[in-house]
Amino acid sequence: MTSRPTIAVTIGEPAGIGPDLCVRLAERTWPARLVLVGDIELLRERARRLGAGIRFGPYVRRNSPPSATLEVAHYPVAAPVAPGRPDPANAKLVLATLEAAVAGCLSGEFAAMVTAPVQKSVINDAGIVFTGHTEFLAERTGARRAVMMLVGGPPKQMLRVALATTQSKLESCAGTNTVSAGNGPATSRPVARAAAIAGSIVSISSRPR
């Protein structure tokens, strides 16, 4: 029997929606072993708020997880967490969870990682330069170029859209999307076709009714 892949899931901003999403992972069965990366007590508290009777246990790589238990690679928060009120004091925790997930992927411990939303401005307020997950992952993995791809839809009709830039101000897009910068016309027909379809969807959905 083939073993299930192990996937790291970072909790994101402790005061945001990330911990809630992580708690909700227990509502269905997944074809992978999920490991939450964050504060286990925070997750327990968030589960209580949501009225979810979920068990959390420490992640031990070589052990099989107990039935109906979400495994957590514990990284404690530095300051008390109030939902909806991000605290720069916990910015280092957010980055620590990302570092742990990336390290696990590079070492082969994790087959992949999923990231819950973070609040970039709060991380920056802590004096840490952080522009986004895409750039962070590119730097940590030594990638020459970072490309964000959006994927969605049913398995046999999956829509994949590769973005020309990471998050940029609208006024700067004209100057950054150049052929010399590698952001020119799509070089792959599937990508070009997906982009054209996505453009049509946006056009239709934005028409006045």
* Domains (range + CATH), the chain: 6-141 (3.40.718.10), 149-205 (no CATH)
pLDDT at 209: 41
**Nearest-CA neighbor of 32 among 3, 72, 61, 66?**
3
Q: pTM here?
A: 0.79
pLDDT at 180: 53
pLDDT at 182: 53
Tens digit of each residue's pLDDT, the chain (209 residues): 458 899 999 999 999 999 999 999 988 888 999 999 999 999 999 999 999 989 999 999 888 777 778 999 999 999 999 999 999 999 999 999 999 999 999 999 999 999 999 999 999 999 999 989 989 999 999 988 778 888 888 888 889 888 877 666 666 666 666 555 555 444 445 445 544 444 444 333 333 44
pLDDT at 173: 65
pLDDT at 179: 52
pLDDT at 151: 86
